[in-house]
Chains A and B, each alone.
Chain A
Amino acid sequence: MSALDTTASAGIALSTSGLSRSFGSLVVARDINLSLPVGARYALIGPNGAGKTTLINLMTGMLPPNAGTIALGGEDITELSPQARVKRGLARTFQINSLFANLNPLEAVTLAVCERRGISPRFWENIGVNKDAIEEAYDILTKLKLGDVAYQTTRELPYGRQRLLEIALALATKPKVLLLDEPAAGVPQEESGDIFEVVASLSDDLTLLFIEHDMHVVFRFATHIIVLVGGAVFTEGSPAQIAADPGVREVYLGKRHHG
């Protein structure tokens, strides 16, 4: 039944079919079939513990699935290592900051750029000679308003800046599909707008899937919403459809209080 999903349809950037995973008796992903069209702005919502992060882990290869397949641009990537998926254009950010504490943003993003350009194995040349790579890294940083802290140790950056660096690192891999796991998690409400402005300004060819709890943000930035409950897709549709869906209200919206 899921053979259809894996066929290379030109407009689909990322798709999963029958993706399942459990931890012991706890099912965290139950037969998940999704497809993200190129350039989409999808939101993934669901209560805490619904399995949203787990789904990103499955897609990016950080967690092997028990069953199902994942296709990127029509190519089956289920068996690929996480880094091979990144090389093919599938990047992610982390819900809990996963940065290089003692590098500065310039070094960290340059590292990611060097990995993409395949120059990181070079042990014989000074990093400084790679002008293009460094400037590309610095460009990404300025685009994310991190230019002024490019030389400050990551550990010492304010939390909101660190969240932006999470995104910068992912962008340095030049992704075709970007999965953002609660990019504004833990950021005060007034700053979270800034982060989503940055997200919204990303190129239109980039396919985006983001997890977010704040429904105002979701309705503002998403063109399509997937609701995950108990590891399974509860429903999906346009923001208007989701807002009107009484079932969603009950399982999700009704239980949470967002200002």
Chain B
Amino acid sequence: MIQIEGNKCDFCGCCVGVCPVDCIEVMESIIEIDDEICIDCDLCVFICPIDVLSSVATATI
């Protein structure tokens, strides 16, 4: 799962451009990631210029 850190995001859309499954939505000042679709590839984490995103392990049952 990808975690979005507080209000750090600048809404530039760079992460959207590399996401292979189009599960990131950046509106004027809102960013949302659809965890149901996300495949945890971490490309968005690498490309974000200001370290807004991080990958967190999800508990498996």
Binding between chains A and B: no
